[in-house]
Amino acid sequence: MSKSPEKKIVIPENVNVDVKDRTVRIKGSYGENFLSINNVVIGLKKEENKLILFAKGKFTKNEKRLINTNASHLKNMIKGTVEPYTYKLKICSGHFPMNVSVEKGNVIVKNFLGEKMARVARILEGSEVKVNGDEIIVTSVNKETAGQTASNIEQCTRVTNKDRRIFQDGIYITQKGGKSVV
């Protein structure tokens, strides 16, 4: 019989991790993240400077996958509290000049392809959006919120029923977490 799968995650010195019941709360110099592990088969414990995920009792390939997935989420959360995730988007307007602004938790895009109605993208809680000329910067401690907010902004300017080779106007993600996409 094979050994029960377990993942050990090293906790940096400047990060504080609290484990209560099935919830992990991670506090770092830039902010705080938390994760609730809902699967009863996965165990969680903290030993000194390590966080250990393991399978309780019998395990299958599915439990091993769940352990690896939750370990990746926890690593991303720890990394985000040490250095926040930054997404950069580029505003491209060839036909009509776009006006992009941030108001009350939304990104408002006016005059997109000459439309009279403004397009709206929702900013998720915990992420911060700044507009600098033709560049939009999304930062967050949580990788999932930063990515979803950047995706919401990109999707609000999606062009439909037009030739994409000609109508290349829109807002596009150029960097994800410091890595170039283009």
Q: How far apart are CA 49 and CA 152, in angstroms?
A: 37
- Please determine, for residue 1, whether its predicted confidence score (pLDDT) is greater than 60: no
- Tell me which of 3.90.930.12, 1.20.1250.20, 3.90.45.10, 3.40.640.10 is the CATH number of domain 6-82: 3.90.930.12
Fold equal for 6-82 and 85-180: yes
At 58-112, the pLDDT tens digits run: 788 888 898 999 999 999 999 999 999 999 999 998 878 999 999 999 999 999 9
- Determine the CATH number of domain 85-180: 3.90.930.12
Q: How far apart are CA 182 and CA 177, in angstroms?
A: 13
For tokens 């700044």, the residue is: 130
User: Which secondary structure element, helix H or strand E, spans residue 85, and what is its range?
Assistant: strand 85-92
CB contact at 8 A, 138 and 147 = no
Q: Summarize the confidence of residues 150-176 as an average pLDDT.
A: 89
Domain map of the chain by residue range?
6-82, 85-180
At 10-21, the pLDDT tens digits run: 999 999 999 998
Tokens in use for 174?
């150029």
Whole-model pTM: value is: 0.87
Please give the pLDDT value at position 167. 79
Share of residues in the chain with pLDDT > 70 (%): 99
